[in-house]
């Protein structure tokens, strides 16, 4: 009787680890950061600072709502479009209530310069997509 041994191929990687909780964590070993990762970080930084400013008011939620919805408020953001005000209102309320953003709205005024689409055309020219 001839028995052929069958070996199961395995792949050994050093960038997938198991945490103490049993969750798989994939670790990035390079410095590449995607365009959306950069935008998420920029929004986190922006709203973290704004959240600290909002906390200085007696009623931060009323202040946030006035800032984006009450044209008679001295804090009203008339420099923003209605879409940008909606995005900022949602983001500020989320940060205040949850201590983090959670949902990222790229219609934020922080990215206004990209609204023309010129950046996307440029990236597509080089085969890159944001």
What is the rounded CA–CA span in Å between residue 107 and residue 110?
8
Q: Which residues of 59-95 are buried (b: 16+ CB within 10 A; e: fewer)?
A: ebeebbebbbeeeeeeeeeeebeeebbbbbbbbbbbb
Tell me what pLDDT residue 14 has: 45
Q: Is the pLDDT of residue 117 over 70?
A: no
What is the rounded CA–CA span in Å between residue 57 and residue 91?
17
- H/E run at residue 122: helix 118-125
What is the rounded CA–CA span in Å between residue 100 and residue 91?
9
Domain boundaries, the chain: 33-125
What is the rounded CA–CA span in Å between residue 120 and residue 129?
7
What is the rounded CA–CA span in Å between residue 117 and residue 74?
33
Q: Is the pLDDT of residue 12 over 60?
A: no
Report residue 120's pLDDT band, with 50, 70 and 90 as the boundaries.
low
Tell me what pLDDT residue 33 has: 78
Residues counted in the chain: 130
Report residue 15's pLDDT band, with 50, 70 and 90 as the boundaries.
very low
Q: Is the pLDDT of residue 2 over 50?
A: yes
Tell me what pLDDT residue 19 has: 53
Q: Is the pLDDT of residue 13 over 60?
A: no
Read off the pLDDT of residues 29-72 as tens digits, 9 standing for 90 and up.
777 778 888 888 889 999 999 999 999 999 999 999 999 999 99
Read off the pLDDT of residues 79-101 as tens digits, 9 standing for 90 and up.
999 999 999 999 999 999 988 87
**92 phi and psi, to 5 degrees?**
-65, -40
Contact 69, 8 (CB under 8 A): no
- Global pTM? 0.63
């Amino acid at each position: 009787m001839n028995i052929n041994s069958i070996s199961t191929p395995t792949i050994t990687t050093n960038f997938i680890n198991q945490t103490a909780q049993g969750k798989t964590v994939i670790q990035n070993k390079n410095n590449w950061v995607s365009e959306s990762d950069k935008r998420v970080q920029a929004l986190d930084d922006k709203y973290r600072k704004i959240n600290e400013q909002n906390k200085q008011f007696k009623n931060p939620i009323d202040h946030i709502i006035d800032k984006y919805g009450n044209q008679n408020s001295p804090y009203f953001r008339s420099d923003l479009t209605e879409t940008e005000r909606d995005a900022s209102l949602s983001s500020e309320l989320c940060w205040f209530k949850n201590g983090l953003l959670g949902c990222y709205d790229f219609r934020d005024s922080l990215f206004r310069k990209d609204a023309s689409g010129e950046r996307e055309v440029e990236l597509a020219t080089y085969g890159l997509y944001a």
